[in-house]
């Protein structure tokens, strides 16, 4: 398409963030169970335990899941702030 000498470019929409439930399906059932029970603190505690005890690939995956949970809680949420610091120290 051209309009007044400019070329219109169609952009695909930005990908929507993957929720923690979508991203952890099957790989961490105890974390998902804590979330289904509306216990994000337990889920974060489990993610932190998995991070500390895992190999580098597992640590990275648990970090990604924690970041997704922080986003769902909101970055200003007290749990996000507390566990973000704990996660940073563990990594």
For the stretch 27-39, pLDDT in tens is 678 888 898 899 9
The pTM of the full predicted model, rounded to 2 decimals, is 0.68
Is pLDDT at 58 greater than 90 in this prediction? no
Q: What pLDDT score does 76 carry?
A: 93
pLDDT class of 55 with cuts at 50, 70, 90: confident
Tell me which residue range forms the domain holding 80.
20-90
> How many domains does the chain contain in total?
1
Q: Is residue 71 part of a domain?
A: yes
The residue to which tokens 């961490």 are assigned: 28
Q: Is residue 55 part of a domain?
A: yes
Candidates 36, 53, 47, 33; CA nearest to 82 is 47
Q: Is residue 9 part of a domain?
A: no
Average pLDDT, the chain: 77
Q: Is residue 76 part of a domain?
A: yes
How many CA within 13 A on the CB side of residue 52? Answer: 9
How many CA within 13 A on the CB side of residue 46? Answer: 17
Is pLDDT at 64 greater than 80 in this prediction? yes
Contact 63, 87 (CB under 8 A): yes
Q: Is residue 82 part of a domain?
A: yes
36-51 pLDDT, tens digit each: 899 999 999 999 988 8
Q: Is residue 10 part of a domain?
A: no
């Amino acid at each position: 398409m051209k309009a007044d000498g400019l070329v219109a470019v169609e952009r695909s929409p930005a990908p929507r963030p993957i929720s923690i439930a979508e991203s952890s399906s099957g790989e961490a059932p105890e974390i998902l169970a804590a979330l289904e029970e509306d216990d994000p603190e337990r889920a974060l505690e489990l993610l932190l335990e998995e991070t500390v005890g895992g190999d580098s690939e597992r640590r990275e995956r648990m970090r990604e899941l924690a970041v997704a949970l922080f986003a769902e809680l909101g970055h200003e949420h007290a749990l996000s702030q507390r566990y973000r610091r704990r996660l940073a120290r563990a990594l």
